[in-house]
Structure formats: structure tokens, C-alpha cells
Structure 1
Amino acid sequence: MTAAEFQQIAHTLPVHAGIYKYFGTEGELLYIGKAKSLRKRVSSYFVKNHDNYKTRKLVESIHHIEFTIVDSEQDAFLLENSLIKQFQPKFNINLKDDKTYPFIIIKHEPFSRVFLTRRIIKDGSEYLGPFTSVGRVREVLEVIRYNIPLRTCSLNLSEQNIKKGKFKVCLEYHLGNCKGPCEGLQTQEDYREGLQQVKEILRGNLSPVLNIFKAKMQEHAMNMEFEKAEIQRKKIESLQAYQSRSTIVSSRVGNVDVFTILSEGNFAYVNYLRVLNGTIADTKTVTLEKKLEETDDEVMAYAIAYLREAFQSMAKEIILPFEVEFPEEGVTLTVPRGGDKKKLLDLSEKNVTYFREELRKKKMLHLEGKTDMEKKKVLYQLQADLELQELPVHIECFDNSNFQGSYPVSACVVFKDGTASNKDYRHFNIKTVEGINDFASMTEVVFRRYNRLLNEEQPLPQLVIIDGGKGQLGAAMESIRKLNLIGSMTVVGLAKNEEEIFFPGDKESIKLPYDSESLKLIRRIRDEVHRFGITFHRQKRSKGTFKNELEDIKGIGKNTATQLLQTFRSVNKVKQLSLEDLVKEVGQSKAQLIYQHFHGDAPQTS
């Protein structure tokens, strides 16, 4: 749909809250979104140019639009999440989670059994959970069975069957694990008290159960029933040991949900901590694929709705690292700065970082410690996949790095026989390029690297990987041509997000199979050059090697320069500020000095 075509129908869209659906020419559902004002939100897709390729592709694919008006923004939010989950449109966020989670069921029957299940049957039974770990469920059930006598048999303990004396107690009764309801030795009321204790344990609320056991222990002791008192004492110890194994933050925290997010290219990872009575009951991390360059707060809002529904959370407080639009009534959003809630947030961040690192390890191939035969096998596969003339026993990879748009450096890592050759790694301070110019920086460092190898008569690599797309690859090839090295080695570009491989002059890229050994090795080399370059950059910053351009301005000190960079993130953005914006940030006199430095005479402010 073109902007002109949209203008023909724009006036028919309501200004109310609601959800909108974009359909393609074949009637396929492309995208579902929510809006406070349907007309304003949908119009935004057609009145501006989109930098993102996928957003442009979406707009081009729209054939017709449908919408549903709702009463409130909250209703729009809930309906959007429900429809995305149901239809999973092509351009919506894709949450990669196809697991079925375990529940603990309290069976709807006389003298209810308590056991693990993954199937929910609507037969009146009560399901507690879900839980993220089967191991965790089994541990809880073990604690319950040790402390609370419940039946495990599948007998039909109807009142009539018990009265007729159809059943006899089993070994579990004689072991003290069951009170014998099958022979009428336990009342329904007493059994229900045990089930209530089970529910308290599963909610993480152990205090009422512990108080009951302590009262019983004292009662038995008063009646000189020391063996029975000892049984209660062991149960108390068992529950306290179980409690100590759980991560307890603070009972004052109560029931809360904690979420953190880590974004990386087209993917985001969201961690969820479920806290019950100040104890971490569950943790879960999910992977979400962004389709239209969604912001972190948009992804977070979607993940919160999904996970709270999946885990049936009733918590009235959600702890987050930043503000998010989440219009659920009766729920408080908290961004803590310190205290127990900040500790929970930090713990969630550790979990999401660990999850990302484990995924990365699975995606990368580490050949260190492998036999020569195993290493060669991967290198032969890489040679075949990239159609290289020679076996790539010597691979080099280049990457540029800068800090907030300033102070560029470059790095080169070297892999020999598929493993890192740390002694051959090289850092580069950019010498001939002014400002930030990734292409010119790449041209410089590639020339310096291979000019030196030629002068020192060192062997050249069989494969050179340029971390970046066609632009960086073209910049590197300028130096390769200048050094007359065309044909001496293969040079390829690796697109940062899509993991596509470009050859010089080719219009089409190569995409290796996602789980291929060749791509895993390339990922390993790319991530190593990232790590090496960023480490070098941090070392230089910590040593004060970089001097901020703002500090060169007479009358502007380090504190003012740091304040501006922390607020606006780069010198380039500070350059683009109006005098009025600068005055708001640093005051009249300093603003005049900064503006004059970048623009000449500063205009007078009223």
C-alpha cells in the first residue's frame, strides 16, 4: 500500500484505542498492533520514510487494514497479546518458547492425591504452577511427602467404599507416610488441613506450616510423647533445610515479578524471576526475535504479558530496570535504585547474561583441545562452503571499535589451524582518519597490516574476514588492490546481524546453515575480534589515553565534558544541539563557549 492509497482511507480510521491488523494480497495476516489512537498510529507507517528494511517491506506488503475498537488502552494491550499468540503474524515479535511446563495437581477426588503433571484436564482438579524445572517440582514433592502424610494410591476412596471396608492399609501407612483414609482412620477434615499446608509450602509461605509443627511438637512433649515430638522436630528441620536451599531475599519483599532484558541485534533475551514471600520460587529466560526493530520497552511489555500469563502470576508488583508501558490495572511497576529489590534486579541481570553466554557457546565452535584430524575436518568443510582455493589454515579477522561515536580503534585476531594464535593478535590506533569513518579506518588498518607482512616477508593468510557489510569489505579491498594482493588471499565481509557472507563484487550473499561447523567457527572468530577490540578500547579509556574533544574547548573542564557525554552519548550529538539546549544543560556561559567552538559566533539568547 502506498502513502497515496492510504490517504484515501485515512479518514475512515477512528481516533479511539484499539488494535489494527495488516493483511497481504493473499489475505494473510502480516502484523497486529495496538494503539491509543488508531488513526494516529496507523498513519505513522505511511507518513515517514523508514530506515529499517523490514518495516519498509511490511508497508509495501499491506493490501488492506482491519481494526477493532476497544474501551481502554489496557483492553487493547490484552487483545493484542492474545491475537499475536493465536495467529503469530509474520512481522510480529516471535517468542521462541515451545515447552510445556510441569504443574502440581491436587486431584478432584475424595482424599485428593498430589502429584506432577504436564496435562491440564478440566475435571475440577486444582493445578498449582506452572514450574520452570521438573527437578524443582520433584524436590518440592519430596519435601511435602516427608512432612505431610498424604495418600499415593489410586484407590477410589468414596465414602461408600470405605464404609464397606473394601480396602486395607498398605506399607505406606506402617511407614508413617499415610494416615490410612482407606480404612476410615483419617477424616476428610484432617486430610484437608494437610492439603492446605501443601498449598502454603508451594506458595513459599512456610511460616504457618512451621508454626503448626512446633505447636504439635510442644504438645507431644507436654504429654511425655517424646517419640512423636521427635518426629515433629525432624519435620521442622526438614522444612528449614528446604527453606535455606531457596534463595531468600527478604520476607518484606513479598510476592513480586522481576524482569530484565538483554538485546543483541535482532534478538532479545528476557529473564523472569518469580518471587513468593521474599523467596525466589522460579526463574525463566526466553528468547524473542525482533521483526521491526522494536525497542526494548516494546519487547519487554510483550514478554511480561506472555510470562505472567504462562506462569499464572497474580503478583501486584513488577520490578523492572526501566519504565515500561504496561497498562494492567492494580499492578505497580517499580524501577529500584537500591535495597532488596535492586538486588533482585541484579540477580535477574546475572541470569539473563549467563543464558546469553551459554547460547553463544553453543553457537560457536571451539577447536582448542581437539585433535589435528578434528580441526582439519572443520577447515575442509569451511573450504568447501566458501569454495576457497586453499585450505584456510591461517585466518585473520578485522573489526573497528569506537566509544559513543568517538575515538576509533581497530583490532585484528589471527587463527591458525582453527585455534586462536594470541601472540599474532594486533591492535591499531587510527592515525590518518579524522573523526569517525569506519570505511576509511578499515582501509588504513588493512593496508598497514599487509604492507608490514610483505615488508617482513611473513606468510599471508588464506582467508581474511572483515566484520561488516559490503561497505567495509569494499574499503578493505582498496588496500588489497593498492598492495597488489588480489588473488593472493580470499577476503570476505561478514554482515553484523544477519550473519551473511559477502564476496567482493558479488550482489548476492551466502548464508551458511545456522548450525553448520563452518558458521560456528566464523562466529567464534568474529566474537573473539569483538572481545579483543573492546578490551583494548577499555584499557585506553581507563589509562586516560583518549582526550575528549570537548575538553579542548577553553573554559570547559573534564566534569562538564563528562556530563554532556553521559547525557547525549557522543560528541557528534553535542555538536548538533541548539544553543538553547546547551543552556538548559550547562548554563549560559559554558553553552556560549561550546556553541562558538563548533559553529562560530553564537546567537544571542533572550
Structure 2
Amino acid sequence: MESPSLALQIQTLPDSPGVYQYFDKDEKLLYVGKAKNLKKRVSSYFNKVHDNAKTNVMVRKIATIKHIVVYSESDALLLENNMIKKLQPRFNVMLKDDKTYPWICIKREPFSRIFSTRKMIKDGSEYFGPYTSFKTIYTILDMIKELYPLRTCNYDLTPENIRSGKFKVCLEYHIGNCKGPCEGHEPLSVYQDHVDQIREILKGNFKDSLREFKKQMQFFASEMEFEKAQVMKNKIDVLENYQSRSMVANPKITNVDVFSIVSDEASAYINYLQISHGSVIRSHTLELKKKLDESDEELLEIGIVEIMERFELKLKEVIVPFNVDLGEKVNVTVPQLGDKKQILELSIRNAKYHRMEQMKQMQIVDPDRHTTRIMAQMKKDLRLPEEPRHIECFDNSNIQGTNPVSACVVFKDGKPSKKDYRHFNIKTVEGPNDFASMEEVVHRRYKRLLDENEPLPQLIIIDGGKGQLSAALKSLELLGLRGKISIIGIAKRLEELFYPEDPIPLYLDKKSETLKIIQQLRNEAHRFGITHHRDRRSKGALQTSMETIPGIGEKTMQTLIKHFKSVKRLKEAQESAIAEVIGPSKAKKITDFYHSQNQTDDRKQV
């Protein structure tokens, strides 16, 4: 519980929206948070033991609480965002001022230039963006260049300068990329009409430009100027192609901002799509590093405010997967179906794709961090008391009821540890009995580990349903290990996960990393067991067959087993091939034996 001085600080907090700050005894900032009600929110930290260990650590360190009162929760959101970026508290989500993003500028001047820039100059010029990469900007500017001949020079094209003949046309005019406004070859009204159409394209509205190009194409065609008509047709194709790639929904959906979140134990990925006239005109994914096991609701609010700040957004309507509080002026929509639901799903796909790319990079650049994240995710997904750094999986093999064997494969830190794999030949069970076989091998495995004082796994996986799981549990109980090691069974058909004394199976997302690792364990145990089972059958059949061959000893048998792998291959082998392995004399004995055996079999059939 908090100290008396801390209790007094909490009691004197107002019931108002605002931002609170936690400091330790050395006056170092631990955490910044926002609240609708400061007293209720801060009190909640001290009224219970938190599930997250880091939160408990932070609470124990708090010595001083400071607060700032604001008018509304949306103001608190903005203030919290700015303070986190500026002060970087130890226990807050990681927020950093990112690089300056590029914009497309329509310059306020006669014969407006259109270009990319990282600097916004408040001179009345229009800025579109910011865009998350110059690649996107280059694609848009190249498309605009194909559609409209614009100037690239920085001349001051006032009417007086043009009339005085101060400028001369350049190469861009001669190759058809510019109409030469510097010498008065293009009227200002026509040029600015093109700029107006470009402005609409940058807003996601292609309708006016397409209508104008089609009108010109039809005019040129009616005048028999087919080359000019073809030029207009090419421009229509360019614009329609760009429109089809950017349009994702009904064109009536405009001025909408979409936010979604995908998270795991370590990070959250917030995707942002800006929709205008049914087209995506901006996309960005923000990664947040978790510190205190924050909820998706908290993280999405933090992410939305951060993206608003970065891109200077003025939100009117937002589409989100669940309700968030962004103030009274913002219309929050949580769609259940239709076009808006489709846009939200697109945003979620983008967030998942970004997360997957980040994980691939992390696996290469920082494998330890990748492993830690996977283990934390498995602990959460499988409801385990600790991370499953050491996992063992058992599988039985008794094809056609012969040579029953069992395999145990071991994964450490999510990867196969092949030196720890073990085979078990079933000793105490007569005939094919999966349950009794599982009981035997689990008992033998962990009795040996206990006897040899070897480390036990955090998780045991049984390849099978409730029956095999119950059999394995009997052995753990006999050894006094029940409850000390987590154990689950996986059924093969529907990938159901069974827990002891729980009749309802757990179903994981088919694409989850946890399920993929469990499937890899199960498949590896099956492969390892089948390989051993085949070896035993082949060896047994070969030995049984060859024991009756006169003059063939044990060492010769072992040599033949190693070389031919099976009786069938040995029977089909030429005498010369056998002679290369064990010499001509013994090879003749073997081929004569199988030749006489075949003749006996033929007589029996007659």
C-alpha cells in the first residue's frame, strides 16, 4: 500500500480530466498517463495487485504524483502524447518524433509549380500529404506529368515579365513537356484549369479530369484529328489505371480516416488509411513498443493521437474496430458490415502485413528478441504459468500393430534440439494400445530425468486427444509431477487443444505463431517416430529372413542391413551387387537361398 504522503496526494487529486505523472524517490519520471477522472484513474493503480509484473514494479517505485488539469479528455490525449515524446518516461509506450515526411506542394504563384518538399512554408501555397515515402510521391508526380504539361522552371512568370520577353523557352518546351507559358504560348486560365484538376486528383477525385479528357477525345475524333484523340485516350487509360489501384470502396465514401490495430505481447501496430472518394490517398503503419501490457483500446487511442500530430489531421469521421474516445467533434464509427467494414478489414490486413514484415526483420537482426516475443505469446495463448522455453512432444507409432515405438522430440526456445530427441521401444504393452504405450513412455522419460537430476520441460504436448492425455497424466501423477509441468493434447483432425479436466477444447487462430510451433512439434515427432518404426521393421524382417541362411553370420547381416535397408531390396539385388558388399562366396549363398525359396513358393501356389 502507498505511503501516507502518497495517500494524501491521491486524496487531493481532482475529479477532472487531465494528465498525471509518476516520479520515483529520486524525482525521475516513471510514467505519464491521461484520464477522464484523475482521482479515480490514479487510485486504481494502488487498489489491487496487477497481472503485469512491470506494473507492480512501477507502482512500488512511485514516490510523487503530479498532475495537469485540462478541459476535456481529447485535450488530455494530446498533452499526454506530447509529454511522452518529449520526456520519454521509462514505463510508457515508446513514442519518438519521426523524420519529416514529404508533401506535394502546389505553389501559390502565377502558373503554379507542383513539386515534392519536406518543408512547409506558410505563404498561401497548398500542401497535400504528408506521404510516408518518396516512392509514392514519385508515382503520383510521374502520373501527373503524363496527364498535364506543367512547367518545372522557377521563373517569376508575372504578366509584366512575360510581356517584356525576359524569358526564353527551354528544352522541356521543345520535347512537349511544357507549353511555354514563359513566352506567352499558354494562357494563364488554361494552365490554372489543369492545376485545379490536379488538385482534385490529389484529393482522390478523378471524376472531373476523366470527364474533361473524354470530352476532348470525342471532340478530336469528331474533327478527324485521330492522333490527338489517341493522346487523350492514353491519358484516360493512365488515370483509370491509377484510379483502379487506389480505389477500395464506394466513391461516395469521402473524408474518412480508418484506424486499426494488431498487437502481440511486445508491440502494437496501428494502421492508418485516409479515404477520399473511395480511394486510399494515404497509408501509414505505426509501431508502438509495449511497456505495461497496455490494452488495445489504450494503444489505439495513443496511436490515433500520434498519427494526428504527425500528419496534422483534422478528423471528422473515423472508422475503428472498437469504440474510442476522441472528443465530441469526431464521429466514431465501428462498422459491422458493408463498405466501411470492408475498408476496416483492409486496414487490419495492412497492419498484419506490417507486423509480419517487422517480425521477419527482427528474426534476422535480433533473434533473441524474436524468441522472447514468441515465448511470451505462447505463454499468453496457451494460458501457461511460465514461458515454454523447453517443450517436449510425444507420438506413438504402431503401423499394422507391429513393432510399437514412441518418439519424444524436444524444442528449446521455439527451435528443434535434435540432440535431445529420444526413441522408445514399447516394453510392457502387448499389442497396439496407444493409451498404455503413452503411459509407459511418459513414465520412463520423466523418471529418468528425475533420477539423473536433468531439467524438466515447462510444457509437454501429447499427439492425441483426451485418451492419450489422460494416460500421460497418470504417469505424471505417479512421479509427483502433476501440476508442476503444463501438459496439453492436440487432436489431429481439427487442431483442437485439450487441457486436463477441461471438457472444452481450445481453438487457436489457424495463422497464429503458437499453433504453427505446436504443429511443427507434432509433425517432427511423427516424422521421427515413423523413421524409427520403419528401421525396426526393416531390421527385424531382414534379420528374421537371414538367420536361416547357412554360412551368414551376425557381422555380415549388419553390413547387409546397413547397405540394402530392406529385405525386398536384398531379394531383388543382383549377385554382383551383393558381392561388392560382402564378397562373391557369401553373395552366392544368399542368391542361391532366395532362388530356392522362390521355387518353393511357386510350387506351393501350383
Common fold by TM > 0.5: yes
**286-295 vs 345-354, which moves further:** 345-354
Cα displacement (A) at 1:151: 0.5
Q: Report the identity percentage.
A: 45
Q: CA separation of 1:491/1:162 partners in 2, compared to 1, >3 Å: closer, same or farther?
A: farther
Question: Residue in 2 aligned with 1:319?
Answer: 319
Q: Residues 539-558 of structure 1 correspond to what in structure 2 (within 5 A)?
A: 539=492, 541=494, 549=502
The code of the aligned residue for 2:58 comes to L
Aligned to 2:136: 136
Deviation at 1:93, TM superposition (A): 1.3
Aligned-pair CA distance for 1:345: 2.3
DSSP 3-state at the match of 1:48: coil
Q: Does 1:298 align with 2:298?
A: yes
CA deviation profile, 1:470-524 (whole Å, cap 9, x unmatched): xxxxxxxx867623155xxx88989xxxxxxxxxxxxxxxxxxxxxxxxxxxxxx
Aligned to 1:217: 217
Q: Which amino acid aligns with 2:332?
A: L
CA distance in 2, matches of 1:419, 1:544: 20
Question: 1:206 Cα shift?
Answer: 0.4
2:21 counterpart letter in structure 1: K
Equivalent position SS for 1:83:
helix
Cα distance, 1:410–1:182 mapped onto 2, change above 3 Å:
same
Counterpart Cα distance in 2 of 1:233 and 1:213: 8
Call closer, same or farther: CA 1:363–1:549 in 2, change over 3 Å.
closer
Q: Secondary structure at the match of 1:132?
A: coil
Superposed displacement of residue 296, structure 1? 0.7
TM (norm. structure 2) is 0.63
Change in CA separation of 1:35 and 1:538 when aligned onto 2, cut-off 3 Å? farther
Structure number with greater Rg is 2
Map of 1:59 onto structure 2: 59
Shift of 1:77: 2.2
C-alpha change, 1:231 and 1:286, in structure 2 (3 Å) is same
Could you tell me how far apart the structure 1 residues matched to 2:259 and 2:338 are?
16
Counterpart of 1:153 in structure 2 is 153
In 2 relative to 1, CA 352–480 (structure 1 residues): closer, same or farther, beyond 3 Å?
Answer: farther
Q: Show CA shifts across 1:548-589 (max 9, x none).
A: 8568xxxxxx9xx99xxxxxxxxxxxxxxxxxxxxxxxxxxx
Partner of 1:364: 363
Question: Residue 200 of structure 1: CA displacement?
Answer: 1.0
> What residue identity is the alignment partner of 2:326?
P
Distance (Å, rounded) in 1 between the aligned partners of 2:422 and 2:122: 65
Q: What is the distance in 1 between the residues matched to 2:80 and 2:127?
A: 27
**Following the alignment from structure 2 to structure 1, what is the Cα–Cα distance between the partners of residues 280 and 421?**
44
Answering whether residue 212 of structure 2 is matched by residue 259 of structure 1, we say no
How far apart are the structure 2 equivalents of 1:400 and 1:83? 33
User: Could you say which residue in structure 1 is the equivalent of 2:282?
Assistant: 282
Match of 1:484 in 2: 452
CA contact (8 A) 1:30 1:89 kept: yes
Residue 573 of structure 2 aligns with which residue? none
Tell me the alpha carbon deviations over residues 70-128 of structure 1, each in whole angstroms, 9 at most, x when there is no partner.
22222222222233233332222113673432211223443222112223344443221
Amino acid at match of 2:93: I
Name the SS for the 2:95 alignment partner: strand
Maintained 8 Å contact 2:101/2:132: yes
Matches of 1:546 and 1:49, distance apart in 2: 27
> 1:537 and 2:487 equivalent?
no
1:197-254 Cα deviation digits (max 9, x unpaired):
1111111110011112222333444555444333222211221122123243222333
2:317 and 2:330 in contact (8 A); partners too: yes
1:350 matched residue in structure 2: 349
- Structure 2 equivalent of residue 75 of structure 1: 75
Distance 1:38 1:45 in 2: 11
User: Which residue identity is paired with 2:333?
Assistant: T
Distance verdict in 2 for CA 1:5–1:206, change over 3 Å: same
1:162 aligns to what?
Answer: 162
> How far off is 1:146 after superposition?
1.0
* Deviation sequence 1:7-65 (CA, Å, 0-9, x none): 22334321122222223444443322222222222222233333433223333333433
Change over 3 Å in CA distance of 1:448–1:485 after alignment to 2: farther
State the secondary structure of the residue aligned to 2:258. strand
SS at match of 2:490: helix
CA deviations over 1:321-355 (Å, ceiling 9, x no partner)? 2222x223332222222222222222222222222
For 1:357 and 1:427, locate their aligned partners in 2 and report how far apart those are by CA, in whole Å: 36
Post-superposition offset of 1:358 = 2.2
**Distance in 2 of aligned mates of 1:269 and 1:27:** 32
AA of the residue aligned to 1:304: I
Report the CA distance between 1:295 and its aligned residue: 0.7
Seen in structure 2, the aligned counterparts of structure 1 residues 427 and 293 have a Cα distance that, compared at 3 Å, is farther
Kindly provide the amino acid, as one letter, of the partner of residue 268 in structure 1. Answer: A
Q: Deviations over 1:389-434 (max 9, x none)?
A: xxxxxxxxxx88986789x996475579x98589998999xxxxxx
Q: Is the 8 Å Cα contact of residues 84 and 92 (structure 1) preserved in structure 2?
A: yes
Aligned length: 438
Deviation at 1:142, TM superposition (A): 0.7
On the 8 A contact 1:106/1:112 being kept in 2, the answer is yes
Structure 1: distance between partners of 2:15 and 2:61: 24
Distance, in Å, in 2 between the alignment partners of 1:263 and 1:225 is 59
- SS of the residue corresponding to residue 259 of structure 1 reads strand
Gap change, CA 1:545 and 1:298, over 3 Å in 2: closer
| 1:279 Cα offset (Å) | 1.6
1:20 counterpart SS class: strand
* C-alpha deviation, 1:541, in angstroms: 4.9
Secondary structure at the residue paired with 2:150? Answer: coil
1:95 counterpart SS class: coil
* 1:168/1:183 contact within 8 Å kept: yes
Contact 2:88 2:95 in 1 (8 A): no
Partner of 1:179: 179
Cα distance, 1:170 vs structure 2: 1.8
Indicate the SS of the match to 1:157: coil
1:183–1:262 CA distance, 2 compared to 1 (3 A)? same
Q: Residue type of the partner of 1:215?
A: K
Matches of 1:285 and 1:427 in 2, distance apart? 48
Q: Taking structure 1 as reference, are residues 328 and 479 closer, same or farther at Cα in structure 2, changes over 3 Å only? A: farther
Q: Write the deviation string for residues 369-394 of structure 1: whole angstroms up to 9, x where unpaired.
A: xxxxxxxxx9xx9xxxxxxxxxxxxx
Residue type matched to 1:91 in 2?
F
Q: Deviations over 1:249-282 (max 9, x none)?
A: 2223333222222221132122222222112233
Distance in 2, matches of 1:447 and 1:154, equals 86
Shift of 1:141: 0.5
Aligned mates of 1:402, 1:182 — CA distance in 2: 67
How well do the aligned residues superpose, as a CA RMSD in angstroms? Answer: 4.2
Q: Which amino acid aligns with 1:350?
A: R
| Aligned match of 2:331 | 332
Contact 2:72 2:327 in 1 (8 A): no
Residues 413, 167 of structure 1: alpha-carbon distance in 2 compared, 3 angstrom cutoff: farther
Distance in 2, Cα, partners of 1:27 & 1:415:
45
What is the CA–CA distance in structure 2 between the aligned matches of 1:91 and 1:318, rounded to whole Å? 29
